[in-house]
């Protein structure tokens, strides 16, 4: 699937929820299923700055596709990054660079996040794009 198709899939999944509690429960479940980063990559330099809880993000280039793994000490944060990984992982660097990111607003995530958490979300997306830029120039 393309990034856009995956994002549309996520949007329609979130459309099914009636209230924020259901959304949060879903995000928490996603957090538990996050593809967890290998311990050797859980380093200081892989911590995303701008997040209030700790978030580690790592990307590997396998057969010209970027594979993201991550972890966080907060479960809701883990769920949020799981959504982002689902949208952007296993795609080429060029596709990630060119991908739109407005699906996070469409799923109503930002309105339920405090400003600091919303900033953290933006930092995560930025970091995913930065990895893509780094690999595309290699």
75 touching another protein, by CB under 8 A: yes
What's the gap between Cα 99 and its chain centre? 13
33 touching another protein, by CB under 8 A: no
Size of the site for another protein (CB under 8 A): 17
Q: Is 25 helix (H, G, I), strand (E, B) or coil?
A: helix
Q: Which listed residue (47, 67, 76, 130) binds another protein by CB under 8 A? A: 76
125 touching another protein, by CB under 8 A: no
113 touching another protein, by CB under 8 A: yes
110 touching another protein, by CB under 8 A: no
Cα(58)–Cα(70) distance, rounded to whole angstroms?
6
The window from 34-42, 49-57, 60-68, 98-106 that contacts another protein (CB under 8 A) reads: 49-57
Q: Which listed residue (1, 28, 36, 134) binds another protein by CB under 8 A? A: 28
Contacts by 7-12, CB closer than 8 A, 24 or more apart = 7/87, 7/99, 7/100, 7/103, 8/103, 10/83, 10/86, 10/87, 10/103, 10/107, 11/103, 11/106, 11/107
Q: Which residues make up the interface to another protein (CB under 8 A)?
A: 20-21, 24-25, 28, 52-54, 73-77, 112-114, 117
């Amino acid at each position: 699937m393309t990034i856009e198709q995956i994002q549309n899939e996520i949007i329609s999944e979130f459309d099914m929820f009636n209230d924020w509690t259901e959304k949060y429960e879903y995000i928490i479940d996603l957090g538990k299923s996050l593809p967890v980063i290998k311990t050797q990559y859980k380093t200081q330099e892989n911590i995303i700055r701008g997040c209030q809880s700790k978030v580690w993000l790592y990307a590997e280039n396998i057969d010209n596709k970027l594979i993201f793994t991550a972890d966080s000490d907060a479960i809701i944060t883990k769920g949020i990054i799981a959504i982002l990984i689902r949208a952007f992982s296993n795609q080429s660097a060029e596709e990630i660079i060119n991908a739109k990111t407005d699906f996070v607003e469409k799923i109503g995530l930002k309105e339920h996040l405090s400003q600091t958490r919303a900033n953290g979300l933006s930092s995560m997306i930025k970091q995913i794009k930065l990895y893509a830029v780094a690999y595309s120039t290699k």
